[in-house]
């Protein structure tokens, strides 16, 4: 009798686990399928881009110019045949409408899909499996050309954004189990590439800050934020940049940081000087009593 009860309990527990697991797996598969599109394999420009890669040999360029590119991951790579390409990522290039939307907190998805775009190709070290950089190809004057070689994004970011399974897992860990749409786009004045996802009609953004910076203007690289939060943070920065293109945008400015710390120092010196004078006057008065 006890064995039957135990068997029933075991079967019930198994069914319960299956019920919990199936929706999660289904959500993961659904998000992964969305991140799998658009695919470079189905892109109309695929043949032209592949011809440009074959002609210009970007991997050879990256190895020959690794010192100038300043990618630490390339330091030990001396032969371009030791490099291979990862899954290309479609990255939109924002136009004026997108910048206005970012400053006004208007929807971005539809506007982004109307923008020109580039394909970002991650570059991988065959031996170590490490992502060592990337290059971009975009349409310039009607022809697909290299627009950037070396890459702005970190190895960890390149590894994430070029893998639909990792992206789906990343979303799940952030509590996002279903999305309707997504887009990558780069805002160069902010030195940031954003992942935009649409969940239940609402837009959320994940900033991936270029280089080794972990945070800029209150946004941490690789964390998901509501569009409201991102706009309230970067909107004023973009406005400042548009009013003065030579002004700081994106990375914190070390010179400005020094100026920030100079003020408390000056105030402290004034306080000390005032205290000394006050103490001297106090002693004089005490001596007169």
Q: In whole angstroms, what is the distance from residue 119 CA to residue 122 CA? A: 10
The verdict on 182 and 124 lying in the same domain is yes
Query: What's the whole-number mean pLDDT along residues 8-33?
Result: 53
Q: What is the pLDDT of residues 117-169, one digit of tens each?
A: 999 999 999 999 999 999 999 999 999 999 999 999 999 999 999 999 999 99
Tokens for 66? 């690794």
Are the C-beta atoms of 125 and 134 separated by less than 8 Å? no
In a domain, residue 4? The reply is no
Domain count, the chain: 2
Query: What's the whole-number mean pLDDT along residues 98-127?
Result: 96
The verdict on 157 and 285 lying in the same domain is no
Q: CB atoms < 10 A from the CB of 162, how many?
A: 21
| Of 281 and 72, more confident | 72
What confidence score (pLDDT) does residue 193 get? Answer: 97
What confidence score (pLDDT) does residue 247 get? Answer: 60
What confidence score (pLDDT) does residue 244 get? Answer: 78
CB burial string 9-28: b at 16+ within 10 A, e below: eeeeeeeeeeeeeeeeeebb
The verdict on 64 and 201 lying in the same domain is yes
In a domain, residue 195? The reply is yes
In a domain, residue 6? The reply is no
Phi, psi of 120 (to 5 degrees): -100, 120
The verdict on 227 and 282 lying in the same domain is no
State which H helix or E strand residue 53 sits in: helix 46-56
In a domain, residue 237? The reply is yes
Q: What is the pLDDT of residues 159-215, one digit of tens each?
A: 999 999 999 999 999 999 999 999 999 999 999 999 999 999 999 999 999 988 899
Q: What residues make up the domain containing 288?
A: 255-289
Closest to 146 in 3D by CA, of 166, 107, 109, 118:
118
What confidence score (pLDDT) does residue 213 get? Answer: 87
């Amino acid at each position: 009798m006890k064995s039957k009860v135990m068997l029933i309990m075991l079967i019930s527990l198994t069914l319960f686990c299956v019920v919990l697991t199936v929706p999660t797996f289904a959500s993961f598969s659904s998000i992964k399928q969305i991140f799998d599109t658009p695919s470079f394999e189905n892109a109309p420009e695929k043949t032209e881009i592949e011809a440009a890669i074959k002609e210009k040999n970007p991997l050879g360029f990256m190895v020959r110019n690794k010192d100038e590119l300043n990618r630490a991951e390339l330091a030990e790579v001396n032969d371009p045949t030791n490099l291979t390409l990862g899954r290309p990522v479609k990255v939109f290039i924002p136009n004026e409408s997108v910048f206005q939307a970012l400053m006004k907190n208007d929807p971005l998805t539809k506007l982004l899909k109307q923008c020109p775009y580039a394909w970002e190709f991650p570059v991988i070290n065959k031996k170590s499996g490490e992502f060592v950089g990337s290059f971009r190809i975009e349409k310039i004057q009607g022809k697909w050309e290299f627009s950037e070689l070396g890459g702005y994004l970190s190895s960890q970011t390149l590894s994430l954004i070029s893998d639909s399974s990792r992206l789906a897992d990343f979303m799940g860990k952030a509590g996002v189990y279903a999305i309707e749409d997504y887009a990558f786009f780069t805002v160069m004045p902010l030195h940031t590439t954003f992942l935009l996802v649409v969940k239940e009609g609402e837009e959320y953004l994940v900033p991936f800050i270029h280089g080794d910076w972990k945070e800029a203007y209150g946004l941490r690289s690789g964390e998901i934020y509501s569009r409201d939060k991102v706009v309230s943070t970067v909107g004023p920065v973009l406005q400042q940049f548009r009013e003065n293109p030579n002004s700081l945008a994106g990375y914190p400015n070390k010179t400005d940081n020094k100026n920030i710390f100079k003020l408390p120092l000056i105030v402290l010196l004034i306080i000390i000087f005032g205290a000394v004078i006050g103490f001297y006057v106090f002693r004089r008065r005490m001596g007169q009593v």
